[in-house]
Amino acid sequence: MDKHEQRIALWKDAFADDTVGIHRTIRDLIWNYAAFRTAISIVRISNSKRGSRPPVNQMIFDLMAEGFWSSLLLGTRRLLDKGPINGPKGVYSIRSVINDVKSCRPWIDRRTYVELLSGARYELDILQQERLDNLHAAQGRPIWGSPELALSEEAHRRFDILSDVAAPQRDASDLIDPSIFKSFEDRLSELDVISDHVSSHIAHAGNKESRQSKGLDEFDIRDAHTALKKLKEVAALAGLFFADKGCEGLPTCLYDQFEGLDQPLVETADLADLQEQWLLLESEIAGWSINPKML
């Protein structure tokens, strides 16, 4: 594998890595968003029908809400990370891939894109002639279409968009139009306010000065919807262009995600046990201290 193939493999891994990859992060964010919207609906339905019953437990819902918002904001920051894609401090983010592709623009011509990134044959005219020859040889019998031809056609169509070159003017030396990178960056920059907030409020305990003008006080579930939509759209297109694989939508659940929702969390008789456990925790935590003489 030469250095160009290694670089392309790095972009693909940034999207496909099953631990911290871009597609994995997007899938997790979308799943958590759908689950949290379901939790909100549970509270709404419960409150509309509860009558004289107590409302849904506030402590448990607050715990879920805090977990959702933290994961959403941190996940967004990861996807927007401005760090490099390679090296000991490299990161897998949409921005790191886009910036690295931009730096490699001089050698990512149409032929390189079609052959190395897309894994297709470059010469469309030869592939089309082979299809015609096969049709003639079949003498009217049904034959399979050529996957190689379809793969090459799709790769050329993608590079037509990237290079802003129409099909009749295609040339092996075509390069990616610089405006493509600006367009991606403009879309990502719209979400930088989230990244700035996370850096000063969640990932780091910023002081008052560093937190100034970086709050998200009015950020709600509608804003989460908008942010996730933008991230998914950009990640899907960037993945398709630069890793040969777009990202999917809401993951398919392999179990019944609504199972047990019609059952109470605990029976009334068990509340005393929960109260006892709470008091034990309160007592233990009260003892979490260091005697100054022990320093």
Rounded to two decimals, the pTM is 0.87
Give the contacts of 192 (CB within 8 A, at least 6 positions apart): 80
Give the pLDDT score at 213. 72
Q: Is the pLDDT of residue 43 over 90?
A: no
Per-residue burial over 183-201, b if 16 or more Cβ lie within 10 Å, else e, is ebeebbeebeebbbbbebb
Query: Mean pLDDT across the stretch 5-13?
Result: 97
Query: Under a CB-based contact definition with an 8 Å cutoff, are residues 119 and 205 in contact?
Result: no
- How many CA atoms within 13 Å lie on the side-chain side of 1? 9
Q: Is the pLDDT of residue 219 over 90?
A: no
Q: How many CA atoms lie within 13 A of 291 on its CB side?
A: 2
Report the pLDDT averaged over residues 11-39. 95
Domain ranges of the chain: 3-106+177-286, 109-175
Q: Is the pLDDT of residue 145 over 70?
A: no
- pLDDT, averaged across the chain: 90
